[in-house]
A and B are shown apart, each in its own frame.
Chain A
């Protein structure tokens, strides 16, 4: 089955700086890679996704890159703001369904 590794488990950055979260996956058949943001007391919410036929996707301050050869994908957040503080999960969808990474707790320092 699919195995998704996510790093780091905790990331602390100064407000205004960039944050990068990295994930690797094992199943080359996986073809859809969503990122979820979970704020305190809430369920995860999709923030951006990328399909296997695209190398990069951007939505305002958030971007995701995908390297299919290396089987890794990354979330980039620029100009971080206090409201970016949350737990972020990457995931991969393959033949066996959706597999989540273990999550990254992003802390934005004022």
Chain B
């Protein structure tokens, strides 16, 4: 059973702080993803990684960076948090890109930036 875990369920930070969101998957999946979820906007892809130390920008990468030093771990970094980054952040992993690429999601981190 695939398990994707996220380091925090709820996080409150102040404007300008550096924020780390951690995600770990236990199924040796090649691909990992970070999304943000906002009401009325659905899920929007921030970054994804298809291999260790590899990263690709998604649809909304501005204000974010990522790190993948180990296959099982994918970190999302907010270098200087802003109030418009208040959102639900979802991490996902998949074995394959493209066809048959079921993505398994973590429970999400609800980040509030004050």
Contact = CB atoms under 8 A, between A and B. Distances in A.
Given A102-B40, A103-B42, A42 B99 contact: no
Contacts of A9: 40
Interface in B91-114: 92, 97-108
A5 B60 CA distance: 19
Interface size class of B (residues with CB under 8 A): 20 to 34
Interface string B12-49: 00000000000000000000000000001111110010
B103 A98 contact: yes
A44 B99 CA distance: 19
Nearest to B44: A100
Given A31-B99, A93-B98, A93-B101, A42 B42 contact: no
Interface string A93-110: 100011011110000000
Give me the 8 closest cross-chain CB pairs, A-B, nearest first.
A43-B105, A102-B42, A100-B43, A100-B42, A44-B105, A103-B42, A43-B107, A43-B106
